[in-house]
Structure 1
Amino acid sequence: MTLHIPFDNSYARLPDPFHSHQPPTPVQAPSLIAFNHDLAAELGITGTDDPQLASYFAGNMLPQGAEPIAQLYAGHQFGQYNPQLGDGRAILLGEVVNPNGLRRDIQLKGSGQTPYSRRGDGRAWLGPVLREYVVSEAMHALGVPTTRALAATRTGQDVIRDRPLPGAVLTRVAQSHIRVGTFQVFAARGETDALKTLFEYTVDRHYPQAQDPSDLLQMVMDRQAALIPHWMSFGFIHGVMNTDNCTLSGETIDYGPCAFLDGFDAHGVFSSIDRRGRYAYSAQADIIAWNMAQLATSIIPLMPDQDRAVDQFTKQINAMPELIRANWLSRFAAKIGIASPAPDDETLITDLLILMHKDQADFTNTFRALVNDTGRDQFVDRAAFDSWRARWQSRIERETAPDTIMKQANPAFIPRNHRIEQMIDAAVAGDDDLFHRLNRVLANPFDDQPDESDLAAPPQPSEVVKATFCGT
């Protein structure tokens, strides 16, 4: 049966300044590593037993109805504005609308050079492709809004980074790839007509209830103010929260140097390119407000009274930290069994995190152990934990189902950094077993899965991952 993707490509119908028409570059010997059949069914894709599946998702063949484009955007990278970025190694094949009416992009990542490659080769190597596949699908299983992985394909040819490495292509699915940087590029160029077109397109696609740019800003802020505490509740550090990696849909996008905390460290940094800790674990709440301020600046030209808009947008941005704090409190209260937190509960949560930081207690396992009341085993200073536990027990006596709340908020399994690195090393050597095992186990992260308990264990000292790297 021939692969059929029900394309309806609205972004490709936007004017040329928004994108460049660009087919993917064929590869030498495509071979499929993984294909997400459940996601394909959700998207209405049929014919997934097509023997040419690897060729389609490596870019050697175009599915009928695809209109491949590379999208234009700009962005602040580590606080420095870059006036033109764009898809330097990605091609948007097109969009599909599933039976529930949800429109989603299908994009090939690592599919060759585009007009925005800026001297890059446009390719991806195997490690980042597998990392994004595993982590994005794990985030989805955790309930975090995220892009997803439809396929991973080897190319049969090497790419050159610090050494030759096996190439691969990821097929990514997103509600859209509209970024803060997409608005920034037209605002910076003074192209108000294009900016208005983008605003209208974004509202139609994601926020049909928005009446004006102020509404759009608030709705995007609301989603982002919910997203970042959701990340933090699982110990996730994005690592590269540039404005070009910040979506208007409120999804997590781009998993290059991402990582998860092992021992709790509020200032944890893993990304090798984040030398000053701009995107550290605890800094993510501040950075998302900064990113939203850049979005606000970009849409001011759409307002009829721009001086008044500056005042209005400033008030909205200044209110964002409290939105984030409320979402943070809700997420972390659930982790200790509290359904409807009061302001005083923040102290109880913070005191536990301080103890965890002091003893470098494992973030995921400590919270999971609270479900079985075995948290004491995670600490060196057990007397200090016992004192905290007495306060906690007194508090959750007022809750009706704290164990259920905690089990739903505290996974047994996350994509451990050392397991991801082990998976990549094995795959480079031709062994994909750990990749498939991680996907299977992480699809049900809140289940105990006792036969897989080694994947829940923190790293041994020799296994600790101190730095993660982008795939470019």
Structure 2
Amino acid sequence: MPATSTSPSLPHGWRLEHSYAQLPSVFHVAYKPTPVSRPEMVILNRPLAESLGLDPASLDNPALFAGNALPPGAHPLAQAYAGHQFGNFTMLGDGRAILLGEQLTPDGERFDIQLKGSGQTPFSRRGDGRATLGPMLREYVISEAMDALGIPTTRSLAVVTTGEVVYRTAPLPGAVLTRVAASHIRVGTFEYAAALDEKPNLQALADYTIQRHYPQAATTAQPYAAFLDAVIERQAALIARWQLVGFIHGVMNTDNMALSGETIDYGPCAFMEAYDPATVFSSIDHGGRYAYGSQPQIAQWNLARLAESLLPLIHQDAPQALDIANESIGRFGERFQHHWLVGMRAKLGLFTEESDDPALIDSLLEWMQRSQADFTNTFRALSSASSAMHSPEPAYREWHQRWQDRLTRQTSSASEVMASMRRHNPAIIPRNHKVEEALAAAVGNGDLRLLERLLAVLANPYDHTQEHPEEFSLPSKSEAYQTFCGT
């Protein structure tokens, strides 16, 4: 990690450092949030605050999370980056976000503290720099649900309203989200550096990212190739985890792929209900580029853009650099398949490996697609003793017998199998209609009761013993569901 001036932890717990600001000035612009008229607290994530070393009692000041006041030691800035958005390259940057600094936790971990929706910046590109309450609460709910599911993710510390109207398709209440991330360095940050075509800047960014997230790569003979390999491995594991719970990101642009390996930017995201690899919820994804079944391929495509950006560092000989990069990118599919297969075996209670396991898994998924079976509830039912009665269809019963026969070829007891399956198959996910119901109540009349109830249920997704109200387990009755990016 680049040297920083470490200040002692203050009584309220803020301990902000600014290592990113030591990168060349092309990567950031010092810029303050734009104050709002009447900030009011909507929700504060007290457990997260405590884990960051902050005193929740000192955080009940909404001005602190609206940008009207800054925490001690903050030096706000907007980050520069680029991105391929639906395949089209664009120079971007934080158009509505401000990085306050990096909080050092009592355990010595480093997390970005960012305000999202905090006003215009030099990168706003004619945008208003603001956010609306619905999408900010959506990010709060889904990011916290993802964390409870054990999936690497940015977190949400607070949401405040601004007392101001933001105009989208209609006038909507403005809001600011405080996002916590291992960092906000993206594939698009490297694309931005490569587009500037100044190798010292690219190398400074790469060295910084290696030191912050992949220090082991610095000790290898080819640190930048090792860095690329490490990012590929982490992303393969992340996307596999998405697939294993039916999560659809919705807008996998290269500026929305964090090199830390966290899920970032919860715009038009949702969870698949009826299993179908072609499932798309985003209102702007007309061609299905970011469909559920396409997410692994898109991740590999995004990583290829990272590899292109790193070519000048990977090897001084351009053809050799390209060969090294292509070999690394070519391994993504194998690494994704490994992580996905490990996860699917766990979902089916398989403690051993057999060569026919992929065929067994594919048969189940094919039946689920034909039957329009709910993804989460199918695996939830398999995790109970009544799974044989999940469907009267002969095709399912034939598959179920194959699965039972497979289980007999391992030494684990039935109770061990069921216990393991319950640890890997969530009983609860953020059902799209329940999320919308909670957001509508919060945005429409300020009623947070549904939101708080939803968050409480989602906090323990693998607890199959608690009596969840049936409404949180049932799929939506409506086949048509759309999400919107919120910008």
TM-score, length basis structure 1:
0.96
Aligned residue number for residue 13 of structure 1:
22
Letter in structure 2 aligned against 1:168? A
Letter in structure 2 aligned against 1:427? A
Aligned residue number for residue 470 of structure 1:
485
1:261 alignment partner, one of 245, 254, 272: 272
Q: Is the 1:441–1:452 Cα contact (8 Å) retained in structure 2?
A: no
Q: Does 1:55 align with 2:67?
A: no
1:366 alignment partner, one of 367, 378, 398: 378
Q: Does 1:245 align with 2:253?
A: no
Q: How big is the shift at 1:164? A: 0.3
1:76 alignment partner, one of 63, 84, 107: 84
Q: Is the 2:312–2:321 Cα contact (8 Å) retained in structure 1?
A: no
Q: Is the 2:133–2:443 Cα contact (8 Å) retained in structure 1?
A: yes
Letter in structure 2 aligned against 1:9? H
Q: Does 1:34 align with 2:43?
A: yes
Q: Is the 1:226–1:324 Cα contact (8 Å) retained in structure 2?
A: yes
Matches within 5 A, 1:181-196: 181-196=188-203
Identity rate of aligned residues, in percent? Answer: 52
Q: Is the 2:281–2:481 Cα contact (8 Å) retained in structure 1?
A: yes
Q: Secondary structure at the match of 1:76?
A: strand
Residues in 2 aligned to 1:179 and 1:64: alpha-carbon distance in whole angstroms: 27
Matches within 5 A, 1:365-404: 365-375=377-387, 378-379=390-391, 382-397=393-408, 398-400=410-412, 401-404=416-419
Runs of 4+ residues deviating >3 angstroms? 1-4, 373-379
Aligned residue number for residue 301 of structure 1:
312
Q: Secondary structure at the match of 1:49?
A: helix
The structure-2 alpha-carbon separation of the partners of 1:378 and 1:161, relative to structure 1 and needing over 3 Å to count, comes to: farther
Letter in structure 2 aligned against 1:131? R
> Bigger shift: 313-322 or 398-407?
398-407
Q: Is the 1:166–1:428 Cα contact (8 Å) retained in structure 2?
A: yes
1:320 alignment partner, one of 313, 320, 332: 332
Q: Is the 1:329–1:341 Cα contact (8 Å) retained in structure 2?
A: no
Q: How big is the shift at 1:428? A: 1.4
The structure-2 alpha-carbon separation of the partners of 1:226 and 1:340, relative to structure 1 and needing over 3 Å to count, comes to: farther
Q: Secondary structure at the match of 1:96?
A: strand
**RMSD of aligned residue pairs (Cα, Å):** 1.5
Q: Is the 1:152–1:168 Cα contact (8 Å) retained in structure 2?
A: yes
Q: How big is the shift at 1:54? A: 0.8
Q: Is the 1:4–1:63 Cα contact (8 Å) retained in structure 2?
A: no
Structure 1 unaligned blocks of 5 or more: none
Q: Does 1:334 align with 2:346?
A: yes
Residues in 2 aligned to 1:52 and 1:252: alpha-carbon distance in whole angstroms: 27
Q: Secondary structure at the match of 2:294?
A: helix
Residues in 2 aligned to 1:355 and 1:94: alpha-carbon distance in whole angstroms: 49
Structure 2 unaligned blocks of 5 or more: 1-9
Aligned residue number for residue 102 of structure 2:
95
Residues in 1 aligned to 2:305 and 2:381: alpha-carbon distance in whole angstroms: 40
Residues in 1 aligned to 2:68 and 2:469: alpha-carbon distance in whole angstroms: 38
Q: Is the 1:3–1:53 Cα contact (8 Å) retained in structure 2?
A: no
Q: Does 1:164 align with 2:180?
A: no
Q: How big is the shift at 1:52? A: 5.3
* Residues 2-28 of structure 1, C-alpha deviations (whole Å, 9 max, x = no match): 844110111122221111111111111
Q: Is the 1:330–1:341 Cα contact (8 Å) retained in structure 2?
A: no
Residues in 1 aligned to 2:109 and 2:288: alpha-carbon distance in whole angstroms: 37
Q: Does 1:125 align with 2:132?
A: yes
Aligned residue number for residue 144 of structure 2:
137
Q: Secondary structure at the match of 1:108?
A: strand
Aligned residue number for residue 235 of structure 2:
224
> Bigger shift: 336-345 or 311-320?
336-345
Q: Does 1:426 align with 2:468?
A: no
Q: How big is the shift at 1:174? A: 0.4
* Residues 402-426 of structure 1, C-alpha deviations (whole Å, 9 max, x = no match): 1112101111111111111111111
* Residues 234-268 of structure 1, C-alpha deviations (whole Å, 9 max, x = no match): 00010111100001100000010001011111111
Q: Is the 2:41–2:60 Cα contact (8 Å) retained in structure 1?
A: no
Aligned residue number for residue 177 of structure 1:
184
Q: Does 1:436 align with 2:452?
A: yes
Residues in 1 aligned to 2:29 and 2:256: alpha-carbon distance in whole angstroms: 20
Q: Does 1:411 align with 2:418?
A: no
Letter in structure 2 aligned against 1:425? A
Residues in 2 aligned to 1:61 and 1:2: alpha-carbon distance in whole angstroms: 17
Letter in structure 2 aligned against 1:45? L
